[in-house]
């Protein structure tokens, strides 16, 4: 009888520890996924800004070319 109680207590403790561990891993996964999403969004924004600046410069060059003609 005592052995069964000790066994159940052991199982309970192991389940609690593994549950906490899974929670920690899941939280870390969510945090890393959010960081990846933010990094992707930042890179996309930089690409869009760079493209806009390139278009503005190209337009200025075209305007300057028209003036010189």
Q: Output the CA torsion 22→23→29→32 (10° steps).
A: -140
Residue 69 has pLDDT above 70, yes or no: no
The overall average pLDDT reported for the chain is 85
pTM listed for this prediction: 0.51
């Amino acid at each position: 009888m005592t052995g069964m109680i000790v066994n159940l207590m052991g199982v309970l403790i192991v389940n609690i520890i593994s549950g906490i561990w899974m929670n920690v891993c899941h939280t870390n996964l969510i945090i890393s996924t959010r960081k990846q999403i933010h990094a992707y969004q930042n890179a996309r924004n930089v690409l869009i800004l760079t493209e806009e600046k390139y278009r503005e410069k190209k337009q200025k060059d075209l305007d300057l070319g028209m003036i010189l003609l």
